[in-house]
Copies of this chain bind each other. A is one copy, B any other.
Amino acid sequence: MNTPENIERTSTGIDLENPSTRRAAQLTKALGHPVRLAILKLLCERDTCFCGDFTDVLPLAQSTVSQHLKVLKECGLITGTSQGVRTCYCLDPSGIQELHQNLVNLVDTFDTSNLSDCC
């Protein structure tokens, strides 16, 4: 597996252009806001939500909630489907699966058994 990319990557130990690193950063960034965590949590509990369901329980303007939904949608974590006047929001199974795997990898990376009190 010593393709040129791998050689270059392992030579520095760091490759900021690595797609999987970039994707991990994108996903964690999307999680990195209490409102978006709350939205995802509610979707985990309720399967299906309309935009109004979020605005009912969030102390934010409807336009702001819509913006957060857009962020989650654009990075593939949720879907939004028009149903009449309303939009039905759901977790996107493939995105959530990817997130899940990514988080598992991170948990693996930050394995607490490897920690040393160095200083």
Contacts and interface: CB of A to CB of B under 8 A. Distances in A.
Interface of A: 12-16, 21-22, 24-26, 28-38, 40-42, 44-48, 57-59, 79, 81, 83, 88, 90-91, 93, 96-97, 99-100, 103-104, 106-107, 109-112, 114-119
Given A97-B112, A110-B99, A115-B96, A57 B12 contact: yes
Which one of A41, A46, A119 has the highest number of Cβ atoms from chain B below 10 Å of its Cβ?
A119
A110 B96 contact: yes
Contacts of A22: 34
B107 A100 contact: yes
B16 A38 contact: yes
Copies in the complex: 2
Contacts of A97: 112, 115
A47 B107 contact: no
Given A14-B42, A81-B119, A28 B25 contact: no
10 contacts: A28-B29, A31-B32, A40-B110, A41-B109, A48-B119, A88-B118, A91-B110, A93-B116, A100-B107, A104-B107
